[in-house]
Amino acid sequence: MLDSASEEEFSEEKTTEEISQLSYLQLSSLALSGDTAYSEKTSTGFLEKTGYPDSVYIMAANIFQGIRFEKSPEKVLIKYGNEPLPSSTESEDESFQRLSYELAFSALKFQDILETILIDSYIFPSTIIPDHLNSLIIVMLYDFQDRKFQARLLSDNEESIAEVLEVENLLNSFKTKLAAALARCRIKHDALSIYHILPETVRNQELRASTLPLYAWINTCKISPEEVYHSLKKKGYNKVKSVLHIDNKVFAVDQHCYDVLIFPSHLKSDLLNIDLFKDYKLVFQDKSRSLAVHSVKALLNMDDDILMVNTGSWYTVAHMSVLTNNNTSKIFVCGVQSHAKDPDLKNLFTKMGCKNIEILHETFINLESKDHRLQKVKVILLLPRCSGLGVSNPVEFILNEHEDTGLLKDFFQGGPSEDKLHVLAQQQYEQLTHAMKFTRAQAVVYCTYSVYPEENEAVVKKALEFQDHGTKVQSYRLSPPVLPLCSLKEIHLSTDKFFRMEPSEITNGCFLSVLTRERDLSETVSVKDVLARAAAKGLLDGIELGKPSKREKKKKKSKMSLPKSSTSDSSRLQMTTAEFLSQETNASAHQSGTLTTKTSLPQKNTNQVGSSSQVRKSNKPTTNPLVPTFMKNTPPSRPYERTTNFVRPRPEDRMIALKPIEIVLPPVMLPFSSSQGIRSQIPTQHFYCRWVGPKTVMPGYLPTPSIPRRGKKPKENLPSSLPRHPRPWL
């Protein structure tokens, strides 16, 4: 058994080992977030923590007070008060909040060990401390041992808080006893550091969080992807296919989202100092939110509006705005209850170049489908609050996507209780069913961070089963994922039409479902909407979509007539669409109609062609000796019909209905003398070539001689009534 002196010496010798892997992870997170003011490099090049500002300790103590584990009365070692400590205005800063949550979460994980150290070092009950300061003692003790019991460095311009100074002086006075108590705790658990006392599941989760790649989407409102690649290359970053297990400065393009880049986790501190991130040209965000907004984008027409529910991070709203920048869509964001945030949000969106965002202060449940502002909303993006157990970093999840600090306790325990999971699932079901009541909406995208079926598949299936089928609108149905499936595993996980991503070393967990229904039959789907969706799929290369005309904005009460020819792109596209539909109808009739029906259309076109300056032929042309005589006045025989049935139509015959025309070629003048004797011996040969339909052509028949029209005798000699002219086509 070690005495106090030997234990203190043992502790001093093992100070390097005291920098546990947990401390390293937290130091890394501080450096990654740019808060290097709370750590400094030593002569060996390692970062060494120097402490936090007083306001961070106060805020962390209040957070810990709300999430701490409560024990039964017979096991209570330290009593905690119920009064929160007064916090300063600095606690509203995002960087201070992140530091406070990290410190409170670390204290929560080691609550039992820290309480044991306080009892073993005789701080309790030898000193009289108010109960409301015990939470502050716990969080400051964790930071004290994490700094190897070294003094905290204070900045000159920092204001001190009396409660923090009181607790700090107490811990410094028990420094030796605290170090000895910590050494005994490590020996008892046979652990190199207190980090190794944690459950293995918690350690694996934190290790995955420290190595998870960084995802950032490109703000195409301010910069193009090619310009981003060029700028990163100038900074020394090389484009690769995968960033896993690469320590160099590299990046890759995500397979699911074309505007999302992937970076190794250790490069965040370097990336934050690049102008691309400072100017909001690149924005860090978890990949699952990019998957959600890209799913919405794939379902939109040109002027469809979007309703976003429980967005969490405002970067999600900004990303949705960037993807719809070229459309006339408007994005409605509900649930912003405080009007005081409006100026800050508008300032943020202005910096990011977002212009089509409108903030609604009503909660989603209180919104009605008949709201005049939401009449053009066609897609609803629902990001409900969930357990979030698919995320590796709970602090980032709570700060960006959730406000419930109690999730920190759920993360440490490995999941929420059954009662809490049931409450979350019920809330998600109510929000999803309310979204399905918006009669003008055509799609709902449902996305969570959860890995529990109770929050994912069960909620969606229940909402589809119990939806109201009595309304005039079409019912919702489950649609396949609109995102690309890039691996066999993703294909296997999406066999039931749900898109899933399991937590792994490259991404957090994600669940995504798309519910769609047919558009209301009373609504006319304009050509513009069809072309917009085709353009989104890259099917209109080289054709620019013009601005909508005033006529398209008005509701058409009568049948739309065929548009007149115009040189503009929009008129040309509308006429092409109308002709295509008409030709499709004619093509189907052409294949199934009778022979008489086929020959009726060329009569009209022949008259149109005959109005040209060419020589019009007589009603009863004479036969030509060079023309085959197998074509008679009688209809084709039965074998002939069978033969033509075996001729497979060309692919273009199925798509374009060809217009039969008659082409009259000039007579061939042979180089002989123009004497009457020779002319009487050698008749002038005229070749009349005419296309009369695909079914009149025999297989293997050579079209050199002319084919006479049905019901007409073959031509033999040129009628004498026709004028003789060396150039009859002039």
Question: Which residue type, as a one-letter code, is found at position 169?
Answer: N
Query: What span, in angstroms and rounded, lies between the C-alpha atoms of 347 and 354?
Result: 10
Lowest mean pLDDT among 300-314, 576-590, 668-682: 668-682
Greatest pairwise CA separation for the chain in angstroms: 144
Query: What span, in angstroms and rounded, lies between the C-alpha atoms of 145 and 155?
Result: 21
Q: Would you say 319 and 392 are in contact if contact means Cβ atoms under 8 Å apart?
A: no
Helix (H, G, I), strand (E, B) or coil at 722: coil
Task: Say what the pLDDT of residue 418 is.
Answer: 92
Task: Say what the pLDDT of residue 719 is.
Answer: 46
Higher pLDDT, 18 or 213: 213
Lowest mean pLDDT among 45-59, 223-237, 295-309: 45-59
Classify burial at 345, counting beta carbons within 10 Å of its beta carbon; exposed 0-12, middle 13-18, buried 19 or more. middle
- In this structure, which long-range contacts are made by residues 630-633, counting pairs with CB atoms below 8 Å and at least 24 apart in sequence? 631/707, 631/708, 631/710, 631/714, 633/710, 633/711, 633/712, 633/713
Q: Give the pairing type, strands 443-448 and 377-382.
A: parallel
Q: Would you say 663 and 691 are in contact if contact means Cβ atoms under 8 Å apart?
A: yes
Q: Answer yes or no: is pLDDT of 621 > 60.
A: no
Residues 692-709 have a mean pLDDT of: 47
Instruction: Tell whether pTM > 0.85.
Output: no
Q: Answer yes or no: is pLDDT of 16 > 70.
A: no
Instruction: Pick from 43-47, 150-154, 442-446 the range whose average pLDDT is largest.
Output: 442-446
Query: pLDDT per residue over 134-147, tens digit each?
Result: 999 999 999 999 99
* Residue ranges with strand state E in 653-700: 662-664, 688-690
Helix (H, G, I), strand (E, B) or coil at 393: coil
Rg (CA), the chain: 39
Task: Say what the pLDDT of residue 666 is.
Answer: 67
Task: Say what the pLDDT of residue 26 is.
Answer: 39
Query: pLDDT per residue over 442-457, tens digit each?
Result: 999 999 999 999 999 9
Query: pLDDT per residue over 255-306, tens digit each?
Result: 999 999 999 999 999 999 999 999 999 999 999 999 999 999 999 998 999 9
Residues 237-262 have a mean pLDDT of: 93
Beta-bridge partners for 283: 217
> Residue 273: CA atoms inside 13 Å, Cβ hemisphere, count?
9
Q: Would you say 110 and 194 are in contact if contact means Cβ atoms under 8 Å apart?
A: yes
Q: Answer yes or no: is pLDDT of 690 > 80.
A: no
